Each structure stands twice: as C-alpha cells, then as structure tokens.
Structure 1
Amino acid sequence: MTSCASIRTDVVDAGAEWHDAPVVADRGVVTDRNPGDRDAFTAKIIEEVAGDRHRAA
C-alpha cells in the first residue's frame, strides 16, 4: 500500500508493504498518498471497476 509518508512507520508496523507511489492496488484495494495523487487514484479505481477480475462469480 501507499499512504502519507508521515504514517509510513505505523503502516509498516501494522504489517503492510509500503510503497512511495502515487497509487497502489492489491487485490481490489486501492490506496494513494495524498490529494495530489487524485488523478492517478481515480484512473486506477476506474480500471479496477471496469475490469472483470474482481467480479463475483
């Protein structure tokens, strides 16, 4: 996942694999770092929703 850099230690201590990236997706969960990443986040959400890999069987 990604998040604001200021909480990186907390995120890692909670067990996440943290990345300094505008957007990270893992098994349908999409995270971003800050409001400045909104365009990348929105595009990834659209990609995830439009794809069929997360649809219920």
Structure 2
Amino acid sequence: MVGEQDERGYVTALTLQKTGRQEVELVLDCTGFRGLIINEVPAPMPHVAEMQVSESSLL
C-alpha cells in the first residue's frame, strides 16, 4: 500500500494491491496494533480543540 498526501500532510489517495489508486476523503485504520495505514502514511493528528462542537454537554 502506498499513500499520497497533500501539502498539509492529509491523506488524499491510497494505492492498493488489488484495486490500484483510490482517492479518499476519510481513512479509518481498523487493523489494530498492526496499524497498516497509520504506520505507512503518517498523517497529522488534529488537536482536541479543533474537534470541539459544543461548549457544554448534555447529562
């Protein structure tokens, strides 16, 4: 597997053995401890503050 990244470091495409190049918008690495994608294509991790959608929580 080969990954392509844009100028910000975000993954934009993956080249797979069976299906060739696939453009992607979202990549979920579900390979457990092997981390087949994240270890091959290191991407920047967003800061928690960037993901905050609300300043309060519902209980």
Identify the TM-score tier after normalising by the shorter chain. Answer: under 0.3
TM-score of the aligned structures, taking structure 1 as reference length: 0.26
Decide which structure has greater helix share: 1
- Greater relative contact order, per chain length (Cα 8 Å cut-off, separation 6+): 1
Structure 2 length normalisation: TM-score?
0.26
Higher strand proportion: 2
